[in-house]
Structure 1
Amino acid sequence: MANILNIETSTSVCSVALTSEGQVLEHYENYDGKTHATLLSLYIQRSLKYARSRNMQLDAVAVSIGPGSYTGLRIGLSEAKGLAFGFNIPLIGVNTLQLLTVTTMFNHFIDDDNALYVPMIDARRMEVYTGVYNNALEPVVEPEAKIIDEGAFGDLLASHHMVFFGNGSDKAANVIKSPNAEFIPGIKPEALHMLALSEKAYREHDFIDVAYSTPLYIKEFQATKRKKKVL
């Protein structure tokens, strides 16, 4: 098994975890939001200090590549690229929607092998970044930006037990009314839960380019124009 430094900054959570041989050795999280720029470097330094104290060499750096917060994704990927380049080790990109799905599968027993998993990351108004995955983490619906209304996922809900989670699922719970819909609150993307995905990617040599890789934004960034002052 590899020694991997995992970085997650796709939402308001800022987190870092050092993993090795299927175990989380060290991890740090902050849930206050807008702390990525100040805390991420500190968490990385602490994790590297832990690794040095045990004569561990990093084999790879893993980072959540989105979808999610534009600013958070840029900060996380920039730090990860710097580490991968500096240590001359591979860079792993972890899809945030798959991370949320794995977190739910590992922490909540769903007694239905045919259930579909629907991670949701809050975008704006009634929009979410989402996708649909089966029990093998295969995409049934590819990642997309989706407006949530009463008819959302109607065809799939008619024939499947669907599990909704992530910080975008709260507003979905207010409009999606189906006996086949289950909502699990409190699921957040965290670095310590990246372990399974990052180690799988390392085993399969599924790496991303250190120089040219970009976050999975799904939608193009639209800057808000500053309003002109009326004199």
Structure 2
Amino acid sequence: MSTILSLDTSTKVCSVAIHQEGVLIGHQAYHLQKSHSNLLPGIIQQLAENCEMSLSDLTAVALSAGPGSYTGLRIGTATAKGMAYTLSIPLIALDTLDTMVAQVAPMLKGEELLCPMIDARRMEVYCKLVDHSGAEIWKTQPLIVDEHSFDDLQQESIYFFGNGSDKLEQLFGGVDRYHFIRDIHPSAAHMGEVAWAKFQHSAFEDIAYFEPEYLKEYRTNVPSQKFKV
């Protein structure tokens, strides 16, 4: 039986899950800021022990590959690549927003559009737009949200979710066709079905060359002080 370890470090939530052929066996998550590098190795080992298996029983490792936090994605990628290389198992990369869609779609009737959003600071989000079957209407992209962001979809009922949707709710909270689902975040627990589908099609990444999908350049703040020499 194929056993896949899934990792999600794309936001402040650090989560790990084990699935067997898409069925969730165990899951751990920690909602702690900047905890990924300290927690990830330990909770992977602990989860495997709790599921009464060793890491050598794994068939593949799946990674939430972005978009999301630059630092979080780098930590998750380094961990997943290291495990895949050490255990000689394939690496599976998943779009973070696709795993959010997999989490929310079963809650809805099937006629709505779904728009997962991850906060990208200020009024910018990472988002995509799909119908209930998962067919893409907008591909994964960065978007600066304003009152006109969805003018081209005036007849559609849209469900927004993820921490980026809070910005949109401030603009569109009173619009009948816009709906907001709170407390949805990327989670390894919802990666299993998508990862299993990729595993069956041998949709694996090259461990040596794989990089996460940042979508935009990482920027650091340059100190404004001038030092005398």
Could you tell me the TM-score, scaled by structure 1's length? 0.92
SS of 2:17's equivalent in the other structure is strand
Residue of structure 2 in register with 1:121 after alignment: 118
Tell me the matched-pair count: 227
Cα 1:228/1:180, change in 2 over 3 Å? same
Alignment counterpart, residue 163 of structure 2, candidates 167, 186, 198: 167
SS of 1:175's equivalent in the other structure is helix
Amino acid at match of 1:132: L
Cα 1:27/1:116, change in 2 over 3 Å? same
5+ unaligned residues in a row in structure 2: which ranges?
none
Cα deviation, 1:131-183, whole Å, max 9, x if unaligned, reads 10111212110111111111111111x12111100000011101125321111
Residue of structure 2 in register with 1:26 after alignment: 26
CA contact (8 A) 1:51 1:57 kept: no
Amino acid at match of 2:203: D
CA contact (8 A) 2:45 2:55 kept: no
CA contact (8 A) 1:114 1:160 kept: no
Residue of structure 2 in register with 1:35 after alignment: 35
Cα deviation, 1:177-208, whole Å, max 9, x if unaligned, reads 53211110000111111111111111111111
Could you tell me the TM-score, scaled by structure 2's length? 0.93
CA contact (8 A) 2:162 2:183 kept: yes
Amino acid at match of 2:142: A
Alignment counterpart, residue 176 of structure 2, candidates 169, 176, 179: 179
5+ unaligned residues in a row in structure 1: which ranges?
none
SS of 1:81's equivalent in the other structure is helix
CA contact (8 A) 1:99 1:189 kept: yes
Q: Does residue 162 of structure 2 align to residue 200 of structure 1?
A: no
Residue of structure 2 in register with 1:146 after alignment: 143
CA contact (8 A) 2:23 2:193 kept: no
Cα 1:228/1:150, change in 2 over 3 Å? same
Residue of structure 1 in register with 2:4 after alignment: 4
Deviates more, 1:4-13 or 1:173-182: 173-182
RMSD of aligned residue pairs (Cα, Å): 1.8
Distance apart, 1:230 and its partner CA: 6.6
CA contact (8 A) 2:9 2:15 kept: yes
For 1:129 and 1:25, how far apart are their aligned partners in 2?
Answer: 30
